[in-house]
């Protein structure tokens, strides 16, 4: 299906008479939208490729939003001073199955300012995360944000 997406992108570029990277990127997005529309209407059947790209784009938007929020939170904590910090190490149960999924979760959490993955339990049922500032709801609220945010989306990304 990616071949069709690339063909549609090239057709888009030919129609505009420009094969610059920006035009190609817009053509790729237009082709993806067209394939998604045709898939939803049942013209070409259900296409896993479209679903996977949609999930990847949604995940990237989610991660960028979380990154911005985390940076703002860290900046506020720095301005408030060290007395306002509530550092903690929290055990978060895992619903992820494979080492790749767990690695992806640990990497994404560590890339987010103010949190860091420390260790995964030997049975791979939990991950230990350090947070610079524990939310007011305590460890349970922190677990919930990880489970409903990063972990759920990582799981969705790898589902067929």
DSSP letter (8 states) at residue 41: T
Determine the pLDDT at residue 35: 84
Are 34 and 64 contained in the same domain?
A: no
pLDDT in tens, 126-160: 999 999 988 888 999 999 999 998 999 998 887 76
Are 62 and 131 contained in the same domain?
A: yes
DSSP-derived 3-state class of residue 25? helix
Are 62 and 141 contained in the same domain?
A: yes
Are 118 and 145 contained in the same domain?
A: yes
What value does the mean pLDDT take over residues 43-53? 73
Position 46 confidence tier, pLDDT thresholds 50, 70, 90: low
Are 53 and 129 contained in the same domain?
A: yes
Are 64 and 113 contained in the same domain?
A: yes
Are 11 and 81 contained in the same domain?
A: no
Determine the pLDDT at residue 158: 77
Over pLDDT 70: what percentage of the chain?
98
Q: Which residues contact 140 (CB under 8 A, 6 or more apart)?
A: none
Domain holding 103, by residue range, is: 48-158
Total count of domains within the chain: 2
Are 144 and 71 contained in the same domain?
A: yes
Are 72 and 22 contained in the same domain?
A: no
Count CB neighbours of 146 within 10 A: 22
DSSP per residue, 96-158: --SHHHHHHHHHHHHHSTTEEEEEE-TTSSEEEEEESB--TTHHHHHHHHIIIIIIHHHHHHH
Is residue 79 exposed (0-12), middle (13-18) or buried (19+ Cβ within 10 Å)?
exposed
Are 91 and 145 contained in the same domain?
A: yes
DSSP letter (8 states) at residue 17: T
Contact criterion met (CB below 8 Å) for 130 and 88: yes
Q: What are 142's two structure tokens?
A: 């922190």
Position 106 confidence tier, pLDDT thresholds 50, 70, 90: very high
Are 81 and 125 contained in the same domain?
A: yes
Are 33 and 59 contained in the same domain?
A: no
């Amino acid at each position: 299906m990616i071949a069709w997406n690339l063909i549609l992108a090239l057709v888009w570029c030919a129609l505009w008479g420009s094969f610059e990277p920006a035009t190609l990127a817009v053509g790729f997005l237009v082709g993806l939208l067209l394939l998604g529309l045709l898939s939803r209407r049942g013209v070409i059947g259900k296409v896993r490729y479209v679903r996977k790209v949609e999930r990847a784009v949604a995940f990237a938007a989610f991660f960028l939003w979380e990154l911005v929020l985390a940076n703002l939170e860290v900046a506020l904590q720095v301005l408030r001073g060290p007395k306002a910090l509530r550092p903690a190490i929290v055990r978060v149960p895992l619903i992820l199955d494979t080492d790749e999924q767990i690695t992806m979760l640990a990497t994404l959490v560590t890339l987010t300012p103010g949190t860091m993955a420390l260790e995964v339990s030997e049975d791979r049922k939990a991950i230990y995360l350090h947070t610079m500032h524990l939310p007011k709801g305590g460890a349970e609220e922190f677990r919930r944000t990880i489970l409903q945010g990063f972990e759920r989306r990582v799981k969705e990304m790898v589902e067929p």
